[in-house]
């Protein structure tokens, strides 16, 4: 995969080094000579120029790239680069860095942005995730908010502990995609129980977050009757062993 990165600051160079380490081709574009440090990422193709200029993008052969990353420290530049990459060169995937949270609303399909990455939002989500127990924390948004990745840590007062995943009635358009437990990633199946301290990761439609919160809240009646029905059946089976079955089987003497 070939990736163009506009902006060779700390962020751009770090992304480039990571991608090169994973076997991808990277073109780094930087307009400031003092920030042009080709020796810092020797595996990348470096271009000194303005990524907002078509001549620079032609030299980078942006039309051959699968992904364009606008990673400069200027939101205006990132928007222009994203728009050019999508409309002029038809790049399939455009990722843009959001530097100022107040500008985040601009980073959408109208400006050619497929994925907007807001560092302040990510940091705040990570802080919330680290200190929140029992509350939904939104970690990421997909497709401009059409779906969100949310996380919740089950506290000691949860009533879901011990219930099987398949016995819990989740809201529509909600998928439990992973359980983090004791440092392991558990891919949930219908028979897996949830436990106190589990970190549950969901992909959910935004309008279902409140319903999901209600299911996960202490005192929620989110479980189906499946587990409740198991109790009398087990008791009936136990009674048949102690008292003998209807066909006249042997009875066990107490004591």
Strands (E), 16-114: 25-30, 45-48, 67-70, 93-98
- For the structural domain made of 132-228, what CATH number should be given? 3.30.70.1450
Q: What is the pLDDT of residues 164-176, one digit of tens each?
A: 999 999 999 999 9
Q: In what order do the strands lie in the sheet with 184-186?
A: 137-142, 147-153, 199-204, 174-181, 184-186
Quote the CA–CA distance of 152 and 212 in Å, as a whole number. 10
Q: Which two tokens stand for residue 127?
A: 């802080």
Structure tokens at 194: 């949830």
Report the distance separating Cα 160 and Cα 228, nearest Å. Answer: 13
The per-residue pLDDT for range 16-48, each reduced to its tens digit, is: 999 999 999 999 999 999 989 999 999 999 999
Fold match, 2-117 / 132-228: no
Q: Where are the domains of the chain?
A: 2-117, 132-228
Q: Is this model's pTM higher than 0.85 or not?
A: no
* Fold classified for 2-117: Rossmann fold (3.40.50)
pLDDT at 7 over 80: yes
């Amino acid at each position: 995969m070939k990736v163009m990165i506009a902006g060779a600051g700390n962020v751009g160079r770090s992304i480039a080094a990571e991608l090169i380490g994973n076997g991808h081709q990277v073109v780094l574009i930087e307009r400031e000579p003092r920030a042009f440090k080709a020796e810092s990422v020797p595996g990348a193709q470096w271009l000194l120029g303005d990524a907002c200029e078509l001549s620079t993008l032609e030299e980078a052969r942006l039309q051959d790239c699968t992904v364009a990353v606008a990673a400069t420290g200027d939101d205006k530049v990132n928007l222009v680069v994203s728009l050019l990459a999508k409309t002029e060169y038809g790049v399939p995937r455009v990722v843009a860095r959001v530097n100022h949270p107040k500008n985040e609303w601009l980073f959408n399909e109208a400006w050619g942005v497929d994925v907007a990455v807001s560092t302040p939002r990510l940091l705040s989500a990570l802080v919330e995730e680290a200190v929140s127990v029992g509350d939904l924390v939104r970690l990421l948004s997909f497709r401009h908010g059409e779906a969100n990745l949310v996380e919740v840590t089950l506290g000691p007062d949860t009533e879901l502990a011990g219930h099987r995943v398949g016995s819990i009635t989740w809201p529509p358009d909600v998928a439990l995609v992973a359980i983090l437990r004791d440092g392991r990633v558990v891919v949930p199946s219908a028979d897996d129980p949830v436990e106190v301290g589990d970190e549950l990761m969901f992909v959910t439609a935004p309008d279902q977050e409140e319903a999901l919160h209600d299911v996960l809240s202490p005192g929620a009646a989110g479980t189906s009757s499946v587990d409740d029905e198991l109790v009398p059946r087990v008791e009936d089976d136990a009674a048949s062993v102690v008292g003998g079955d209807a066909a006249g089987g042997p009875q066990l003497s107490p004591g």
